[in-house]
């Protein structure tokens, strides 16, 4: 196990030999070398959201929201391990050449564990979805995989953006996210708390916005009282990039750069991504900060560097360049893609039978798009396989694959001199000449993403609504009117209005941004070489008209836990092409019967034994989901909430039993002061392959096993 106390002692000794100017210089993200102490330059800024990013070739995984759809903790742990190994391979090679540029260090500003509370938020595809429990469990697994469990950190993870941050992007530099204590502790903080307490995440990054009046990178409440006080965080804190400058230029809570630097440092921000800490020495001269505060920040930072073994000979120093995109890592990426894709509708057309298919049409602006494969914060792949290329590779020899772009992603023409919708006639011809059509629509990182990092200037990376761009809607109608079976594949990082596709297409698939080589895996899913098994980590609403205003951070009316209307596709939903049935659930020594009332002590959690039968002739994957609802508590969310999940593999025509554990903290509610408590005697528990709601039952034809526990530990 890592010895933080020893690392800190070494940091105290080293920092104690520095001058004040040298200590202050180390608090910038691009920390310079101190040759007299044999300290090389170090750039703290690196990205690893779904693969090592922005520093050349690396294994490309599906965007984070896609990996969340896998509902697979073991997968996220493995992805973290791969990223750490490839990051070490890069660091070892680059540092041996004295290349210590940005994106070449071992401190990864990932994962993004903000709650995707509103489908319009452009950066939502960087997250693990809308549920605090799912986000916390997946984030914990990723951090543990990335950081490893050896004597040294393999790499350092960073939980961002702390806290209460999810748009609007256009307002983030001056926005004040006002939130109740209940929503703060029930929704916005649990994932951060889990990563700090259980995963021992090495860093936390503050958000751009204010929370209840305080800038998140200079917040007494968030940074001192909660993070380091209540949770005992021992790592380092980093500002989002140029966020401290916003204190005096946008938020207007300080009057100068010196005051902004002092506020951030006073609250415990150790690394400034930006340039405001260049004013720290002037702030010191003006009496705004103390040398002790500067020293403590430097000590925390060098503690991390010692924990990474950057001044030692570690086993990780031997990780070589050939680990990048190696066969084993690419196999993990393929697995991640296969588990992430969600089958939303299937009238029986899937899987396609390649031996019977003589022609297939592939249409749409995302069908042959490399950009739509990768999402934002991505690295470079040595090979890209689009959906069109994947289908061309998978079909049997002699099957004709017709292709048309159909329309531009968002403009009204493909060719600048062409007429409006200049590719739609070609798309119709492709559909007419094909037995079945795969219509690939959606967005890409130029249309949904981060403010300042996107081509979507009119919404700063956010969406104004859930509609596909008008050219794509017209293309979809034209292709569907031909009368051939159409499989609509949506490649976005967020929920869209797919009502027309749901009503008229033979099948609907959510493929997210599936990774650089994801097109081949999606094609294998279409042809039954791999099983569909993804589940939605976000709710797909019918429209935005009955959602609260985007700027409203109250959870009322948001996400599956608080939304009261009828949705198009529920959180936790996803179809399979195999017939998998829930046979029975056991609690302790008893078989659970529907609506049964049982008495149990819940203070230590409960273990459920779930028997599942795969009635199909092919293997299947499913996600067992457990939802809890306090029946007697006015403090409980109106809908049952996810409290446990487990991805399971099922052999063909076999019945198998699986254990799934529900932790004791699932049986607490959060009061108006943000405190956890037991409230109410009866707890409803539902076990199944999705939520225990009417829409899931309608779409799947399956019911959860639901029973009630009267708690004895009240």
SS3 593: coil
User: How high is the pLDDT of residue 458?
Assistant: 57
Average pLDDT (373-392) is 98
pLDDT band at residue 347, thresholds of 50, 70 and 90? very high
598 or 303: whose pLDDT is higher? 303
Contact (CB, 8 A) for 641 and 561: yes
In the predicted structure, residue 453 carries a pLDDT above the cut 90:
no
User: How high is the pLDDT of residue 1?
Assistant: 63
In the predicted structure, residue 452 carries a pLDDT above the cut 90:
no
Average pLDDT (616-626) is 97
DSSP-assigned letters across all residues of 576-588: -SS-EEEEEEEET
In the predicted structure, residue 460 carries a pLDDT above the cut 60:
yes
Domain with CATH 3.40.50.1700 in the chain: 341-562
% of residues, the chain, pLDDT over 90: 96
Encode 423-439 in three state secondary structure.
CHHHHHHHHHCCCEEEE
Q: Please count the other Cβ atoms lying within 10 Å of the Cβ belonging to residue 553.
A: 27
Contact (CB, 8 A) for 361 and 431: yes
| CATH fold of the domain at 341-562 | Rossmann fold (3.40.50)
Average pLDDT (124-152) is 98
Nearest to 271 by CA among 523, 84, 30, 455: 30
Average pLDDT (278-293) is 98
pLDDT band at residue 456, thresholds of 50, 70 and 90? low
What H or E segment, with its residue span, contains residue 78? helix 73-96
Taking only the tens place, the pLDDT of each residue in 102-136 is 999 999 999 999 999 999 999 999 999 999 999 99
In the predicted structure, residue 369 carries a pLDDT above the cut 90:
yes
Domain with CATH 2.60.40.10 in the chain: 580-711
User: How high is the pLDDT of residue 457?
Assistant: 53
In the predicted structure, residue 594 carries a pLDDT above the cut 90:
no
Q: Which residues are catalytic?
A: 240
634 secondary structure, DSSP code: T
Taking only the tens place, the pLDDT of each residue in 530-555 is 999 999 999 999 999 989 999 999 99
User: How high is the pLDDT of residue 2?
Assistant: 87
User: How high is the pLDDT of residue 455?
Assistant: 57
In the β-sheet with 400-404, what is the strand arrangement from edge to edge? 342-346, 507-510, 486-491, 436-442, 359-363, 400-404
User: How high is the pLDDT of residue 454?
Assistant: 59
Domain with CATH 3.20.20.300 in the chain: 23-319
As a whole number, the mean pLDDT across the chain is 97
Q: Please count the other Cβ atoms lying within 10 Å of the Cβ belonging to residue 71.
A: 30
Cα–Cα distance for residue pair 407/411, rounded to 1 Å: 8
pLDDT band at residue 589, thresholds of 50, 70 and 90? confident
Q: What is the pTM of this model?
A: 0.98
User: How high is the pLDDT of residue 596?
Assistant: 79
In the predicted structure, residue 335 carries a pLDDT above the cut 80:
yes
CATH class label, 23-319: alpha beta
| CATH fold of the domain at 580-711 | Immunoglobulin-like (2.60.40)
387-394 and 518-526 helices cross at what angle (nearest 10)?
50
């Amino acid at each position: 196990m890592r010895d933080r106390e020893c690392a800190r002692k070494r940091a105290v000794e080293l920092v104690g030999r520095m001058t004040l100017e040298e200590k202050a210089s180390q608090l910038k993200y691009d920390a310079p070398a101190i040759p007299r102490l044999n300290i090389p330059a170090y750039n703290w800024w690196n990205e690893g959201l779904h693969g090592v990013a922005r520093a050349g070739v690396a294994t490309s995984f599906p965007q984070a929201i896609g990996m969340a759809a896998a509902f697979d903790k073991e997968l996220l742990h493995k992805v973290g391990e791969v990223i750490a190994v490839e990051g070490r391979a890069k660091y070892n090679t680059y540092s041996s050449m004295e290349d210590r540029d940005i994106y070449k260090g071992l401190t990864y500003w990932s994962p993004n564990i903000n709650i995707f509370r509103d489908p319009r938020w452009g950066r939502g595809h960087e997250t693990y979805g809308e549920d605090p429990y799912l986000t916390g469990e997946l984030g914990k697994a990723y951090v543990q995989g990335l950081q490893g469990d050896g004597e040294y950190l393999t790499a350092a993870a960073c939980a961002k953006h702390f806290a209460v941050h999810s748009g609007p992007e256009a307002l983030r530099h001056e926005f004040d996210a006002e939130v109740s204590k209940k929503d703060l502790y029930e929704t916005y903080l649990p994932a951060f708390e889990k990563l700090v307490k259980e995963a021992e995440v090495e860093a936390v990054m503050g958000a751009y916005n204010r929370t209840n009046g305080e800038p998140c990178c200079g917040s007494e409440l968030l940074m001192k009282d909660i993070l380091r006080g209540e949770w005992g965080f021992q790592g380092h804190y980093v500002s989002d990039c140029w966020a401290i400058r916003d204190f005096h230029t946008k938020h207007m809570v300080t009057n100068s750069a010196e005051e902004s630097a002092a506020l951030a440092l006073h609250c415990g921000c150790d690394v400034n991504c930006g340039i405001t800490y260049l004013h720290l020495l002037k702030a010191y001269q003006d009496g705004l900060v103390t040398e002790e505060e500067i020293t403590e920040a430097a000590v925390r930072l060098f503690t991390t560097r010692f924990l990474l073994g950057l001044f030692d000979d570690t086993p990780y120093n031997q990780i070589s360049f050939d680990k990048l995109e190696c066969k084993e890592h690419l196999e993990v990426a393929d697995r991640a893609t296969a588990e992430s894709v969600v089958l939303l509708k299937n009238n029986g057309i899937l899987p396609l039978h390649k031996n019977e298919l003589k022609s297939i049409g592939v249409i749409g602006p995302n069908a042959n798009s490399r950009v739509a494969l990768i999402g934002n914060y991505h690295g470079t792949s040595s090979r890209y396989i689009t959906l069109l290329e994947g289908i061309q590779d998978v079909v049997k020899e002699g099957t004709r694959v017709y292709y048309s772009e159909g329309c531009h992603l968002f403009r009204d023409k493909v060719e600048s001199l062409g007429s409006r919708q200049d590719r739609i006639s070609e798309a119709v011809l492709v559909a007419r000449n094909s037995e079945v059509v795969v219509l690939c629509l959606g967005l890409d990182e130029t249309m949904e993403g981060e403010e300042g990092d996107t081509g979507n200037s009119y919404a700063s990376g956010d969406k104004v609504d859930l509609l596909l761009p008008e050219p794509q809607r017209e293309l979809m109608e034209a292709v569907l009117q031909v009368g051939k079976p159409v499989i609509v594949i949506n490649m976005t990082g967020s929920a869209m209005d797919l009502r027309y596709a749901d009503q008229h297409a033979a099948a609907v698939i959510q493929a997210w941004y599936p990774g650089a080589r994801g097109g081949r895996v999606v094609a294998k899913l279409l042809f039954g070489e791999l099983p569909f098994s993804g589940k939605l980590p976000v709710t797909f609403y019918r429209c935005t008209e009955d959602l609260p205003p985007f700027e409203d951070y109250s959870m009322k009316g948001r996400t599956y836990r608080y939304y009261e209307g009828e949705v198009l596709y529920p959180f936790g939903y996803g179809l399979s092409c195999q017939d998998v049935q829930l046979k029975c659930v056991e609690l302790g020594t008893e078989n659970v019967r529907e609506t049964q009332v049982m008495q149990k002590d819940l203070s230590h959690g409960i273990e459920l034994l779930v028997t599942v039968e795969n009635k199909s002739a092919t293997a299947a994957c499913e996600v067992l989901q457990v939802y809890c609802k306090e029946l007697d508590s006015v403090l409980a969310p109106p809908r049952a909430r996810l409290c446990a999940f487990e991805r399971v593999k099922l052999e063909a025509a076999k019945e198998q039993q699986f254990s799934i554990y529900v932790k004791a903290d699932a049986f607490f509610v959060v009061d108006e002061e943000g405190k956890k408590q037991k409230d109410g005697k009866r707890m409803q528990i539902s076990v199944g392959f999705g939520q225990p709601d009417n829409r899931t039952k309608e779409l799947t034809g399956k019911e959860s096993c639901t029973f009630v526990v009267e708690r004895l530990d009240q």
